[in-house]
Amino acid sequence: MELDLRLAACPSLAGTGRRVRSLYIGGGTPSTLEPEQFRRLLDGLMSRLEMTSDVEITAEANPESLDEATAEAWLDAGVNRISLGVQSLDPAVLSWLGRAAGPTEIRRALALACSTFSRVSADWILAPGCRSDRLAAEFREARDLGVGHVSFYILEWHEQTGLALDRARGLVQPDDEASIAARYLAGRDDLMDLGYRFYEISNYALPGQESRHNKAYWSRRPYLGLGPGAHGQWGNRREANHGSLDRWSQDVGAGLVPTATWERLTPAARRLERLILGLRTREGTAIEEFENLLPALASGIEEGLWTVTDDRLILTAAGCLRIDDIESWLANHLG
């Protein structure tokens, strides 16, 4: 097991008083595991690592593979938070995205998740064909069911995916930027009108429902990733496992830690990352971090990209839409 190999290679991972505050089982579809397989997986992690008494344990599920037996088994195993891949309740949008589940099945899974777990997160994707009025109704339905956390993403066209290839063939086309921006801003307002607080560019939560696990990434807390393609970071080191299941299995089977790549971050790189990650959040970043850029930052205030509140630089809604441009600009000026 990879965790055993890592504990042997780095004993400080266990028994040093640093307890695990969150576990996230996902990045795949753990709901396809048999309940007993899932229980063994979680028991194996919890028996080898020291946990806080209130550890947050999240498991990802796709609607089509979440049933009552799975939900009850997860709850009994210790899962106290579930993240459900909704993406949309609009049949046309789901078809466009190639999703396996339809609106009826997704609603069933949402209701099951909310009746079983005290903390439920669901994600939506702003894809071509989304309508602001339908999104508003879907968010309201989720809130009324008991969804406490919503991740709201703009569709990204990653190379070599089915959607990207269809786009290259002219079979599908993205919406224009103005339409995307208008629907994103409307969706953001709808979520906040329903009581969800914006706390990171793509994440909204009812009070007390923020994801501890995600917040750890944005505050650069150390984390360990296990499994094919998993990433980890601690101190000035960042690494990634082999993405290939075969290659990962070969290394683990041979008693080798399955690291594919790693890098040592310079102090300048760590500072830049800390500033960029901070800007993604509701709290923003201390303005003193940008002391050498204060004259240049004034133009961003004039453009409505950010504000300075209580000596912190905080992105506006318009600034959130342009986060990639802002990150590039910061990298050029602070890198």
- Confidence bin at 137 (pLDDT 50/70/90): very high
Q: Mean pLDDT of all residues in the chain?
A: 89
**Angstrom distance (rounded) from CA 247 to CA 251:** 6
Residue 37 has which token pair? 């397989």
pTM assigned to the model = 0.90
> How many other CB atoms are found less than 10 A from the CB of residue 74?
27
126 pairs with which residues across the strands? 154
Average pLDDT over residues 230-250: 92
Average pLDDT over residues 291-299: 83
Domains defined for the chain, CATH in brackets: 2-217 (3.20.20.70), 224-254 (no CATH), 267-334 (1.10.10)
Average pLDDT over residues 211-238: 91
Percent over 90 (pLDDT), the chain: 61
pLDDT score of 213 more than 90: yes
pLDDT score of 59 more than 90: yes
* Contact criterion met (CB below 8 Å) for 230 and 259: no
pLDDT score of 12 more than 70: no
Q: Fill in the amino acid letter for 51.
A: M
Of the given ranges (15-19, 43-47, 65-69, 221-225), which has the lowest mean pLDDT? Answer: 15-19
Question: How many CA atoms lie less than 13 Å away from 47 in the CB half-sphere?
Answer: 8
3-state helix, strand, coil in the chain (%, to 5): 50, 20, 30
pLDDT score of 163 more than 90: no
* Confidence at residue 164, expressed as pLDDT on a 0 to 100 scale: 58
pLDDT score of 11 more than 80: no
Of the given ranges (21-35, 109-123, 183-197), which has the lowest mean pLDDT? Answer: 21-35
- Confidence bin at 8 (pLDDT 50/70/90): confident
**Angstrom distance (rounded) from CA 168 to CA 32:** 32
